[in-house]
Structure 1
């Protein structure tokens, strides 16, 4: 397992280092005389650095997915891991997942289609009680793998077909067809209770590709724990070998199973099914775009939402809008200019990244290295009770705002961590030493329900996961300021 993961991490790391060197080579060294480049040279520098930045971003995303997968597996195997059913339309979930890859498929000259089987129509299926996030996670993994296998194949025409079907009886293995493996994970108890509320059905999702296919040995080990079918199977399917394992666990938690049918040089069909029940919803609800955000807000745990954000499922797959531009974010979130923000983090790189994001939306930013420094900073603001302020020095005076609007507080820090600092801040507010309540947003590298509850109990107003994205920063600011 360690060999497989380090192998997958080494490639993007090497690319990042190379791109960083390329960027540095564009500029003169410190001991060299700097002269203004010509227009052509300046354009070449811009193109080279832009290309390098794009590669770095792609590699970082790939590495983040590997890390997310590594963190997901122990959650599934040891808990807590949540499958939360809501009212959703299966056809919409599949359609959104396919749309994510339309442009990528077109660029690779792959014809990708969605087919709704007659069995689905015959059962008159519309709204069902299921978890669209976890369903989307499995679909996206299989479609992405199929696209990768098909692009590397020499077959023409290249094609991927996504099929949605349904049945009243549980699907089973058949000779010459999909072979489902033995289940290793028990069904989620919450789903078992949910299935009692209505008539149950089985929804089956298949992804067929025209790639090179897999041998019998590769098929037998593909879904094994941390196994790779062969030293080069990752080139065909599933970079690290973790995605298919996670997909297997997710389908089994939902009362289903995953399997495949494949032959060398004849392509592959990966298929999974889940157990679900019919649901009756308000007739005014007409699409996943309408029902999903509403039901997510009604869920009791904000950790569930955070889990969705970290699951690797693009927003479009579950009916949410894609990543907006900075201008769109500013218009949508309507955050006032000139907010004064204190960033508390012991990692200087994290400080710089968050500071830069906040300055893009016209925030005034100060930084502290741990909770103790954050408390010292508060003593220099107008929020500290009269007669108890510590006079700021001249450098601080230039940046000090009349009001401190919000604190971004890292959870893990030396000397005084985020939890301890937040508890102390709330105690100072209760005693009257701090005259105003200052919102605190926690920064966490690995957000889990237990940590979120601890943060809320300590007095934090919200949490945000690392790596930090502009959309999340603005959403959290709007929620607390």
Structure 2
């Protein structure tokens, strides 16, 4: 082994003095976190270096230990530098993240403001559309009411056979146009989420009585066989029979329209039962032309038809099936079709209906002729006020009222109606809603404040067909809501409902005379 002299070792040691001094400074910074024993040792070493200026001669083992410690301290310094760099990077990243978060918050706030603005614009547009449809409904239904009313008056005057046929065609066309308008309004309500369903007790027999006569006649006119198969259906139900009848009539009317020969069958069955209700399935099968898979995909879409070409043989707005599906879905069910070209079609729907209360006997409506006779016999000479701004509709309604020997006063607007009510006592008031100067709602509220008119029947007679208008009328103090056009038979039934009963019972009667959309 070769030994090294002390001088050969001390020279490189002396060259390490600056590094030792730096190490001393770093070590002093670490004293705060070290134990008292370690601090004391390091302070002693520092004094030794300061006193002698150089490190004392050390043994080889001491030198190895010192070199090892220097290397360890160097690594520690490098690690601390790395940690400082990582900390700096983290601080920079945190700063960038905070900046991005701030920008993101500003962006979210801006987008939220844009969405709120768009929502307000959409609500305003939807409100404008509803108002437009309401106004258009009123504007279109008003002349239709005049056309149908005058046609019915002419029918009552004993026309010739040819005239009777022509009048019947006028009435048929008028009701067809009215049906298209009603479908458009229904689609608008569906899109706005305002297609409300009524909840009342009814029976399957009553439901069928409102459907079958209409289809029997049209099927017979085309030479089609029409049959009904109802299997284990509950007798008493609760729900919206008007909307259910509308859905079934849409199916049945299409079956008659698209079937040239053969048969049509309406089937009904109970699919499920719970404590609160029943799941029913109705299906309309026909032996018509059938539908291809591509056409079936479009059938239940609004304004879509299997044949939309300009040369199509069959008319229609393409709304009926879309309305039927929405009615079924609002009743907790679904609607669909099974069909193939040349093999006929089966349109079906399911719906949940509640369990209705059993009745001792079904309610039998008063026949139209009986209502007219009873009005003439029991209400002759009673004085009524007709408030209507449209001259033709005013003339038609006045002639119908006078036909049952009622005494009729007329007013062209709500302001004149109030003046006439102040001067006369009326057994009943028929009130239009949309009129110049003063509308029917405001006029009714004023008339209700007059002495003697607290319980006088006031019936809305209007071309409006919206549930919101009906509710406004009832809230204003009206007893009932009649949507024009109204047939003479139906009008007489409603009039007798109020004129043929004691006055004090009128205010207790529920308003349920009219089918609304």
TM-score, length of structure 1 as denominator length: 0.63
> Contact conserved, 2:374 with 2:496, CA < 8 A, in 1?
no
SS in 1 for 2:304: coil
- Of 466, 477, 483, 1:459 maps to 477
* Corresponding residue for residue 491 of structure 2: 473
1:78-119 deviation digits (Å, cap 9, x = unpaired): 244332344555477457633542233233221112224xxx
Whose helix fraction is larger, Structure 1's or Structure 2's? 2
**What's the counterpart of residue 126 of structure 2?**
none
1:415-441 deviation digits (Å, cap 9, x = unpaired): 111122222222333xxxx78864422
Task: Specify the alignment match of 1:167 in structure 2.
Answer: 271
Look up the SS of the partner of 1:377 in the other structure.
Answer: helix
Is 1:53 the counterpart of 2:154 in the alignment?
no
CA change 1:335–1:210 in 2 (3 A) is same
| Number of the residue aligned with 1:97 | 211
Larger radius of gyration: 2
The farther-off stretch of 234-243 and 68-77 is 234-243
Contact 2:388 2:432 (C-alpha < 8 Å) held by counterparts = yes
The structure 2 residue matched to 1:77, chosen from 164, 188, 191, is 191
For the residue of structure 2 that corresponds to 1:415, the secondary structure is coil
Question: For the Cα contact (< 8 Å) 2:238–2:356, is it kept in 1?
Answer: no
Are 2:363 and 1:254 equivalent residues in the alignment? Answer: no
Q: Provide closer, same or farther for how the CA distance between residues 424 and 85 of structure 1 changes in structure 2, counting only shifts above 3 A.
A: closer
RMSD across aligned positions (CA): 3.7
1:265 aligned residue: 342
CA shift, 1:264, in A, is: 1.9
Equivalences for residues 256-405 of structure 1 within 5 A: 256-276=333-353, 279=355, 281-282=357-358, 285=360, 290=362, 321=365, 324-331=367-374, 335-378=378-421, 381=423, 383=424, 403-405=425-427
| Structure 2 counterpart of 1:428 | 450
CA contact (8 A) 2:368 2:492 kept: no
TM-score, normalised via structure 2 length: 0.59
**In 2: Cα distance, 1:98 partner to 1:352 partner:** 34
Other structure's SS at 2:184 match: helix
Structure number with higher relative contact order (C-alpha < 8 Å, ≥ 6 residues apart): 1
Check 1:436–1:90 CA distance in 2 against 1; reply closer, same or farther (3 A cut). closer
Q: Show CA shifts across 1:297-321 (max 9, x none).
A: xxxxxxxxxxxxxxxxxxxxxxx65
- Cα separation, 2, equivalents of 1:468 and 1:95: 20
Aligned residues of 1:346 and 1:368 also touching (Cα < 8 A):
yes
Tell me what 1:146 maps to. 255
Residue 160 of structure 2 aligns to a residue in which SS?
A: helix
Residues 94 and 139, structure 1, Cα contact 8 Å, conserved in 2: no
Checking the alignment, whether the CA contact within 8 Å between 2:281 and 2:350 is kept in structure 1 is yes
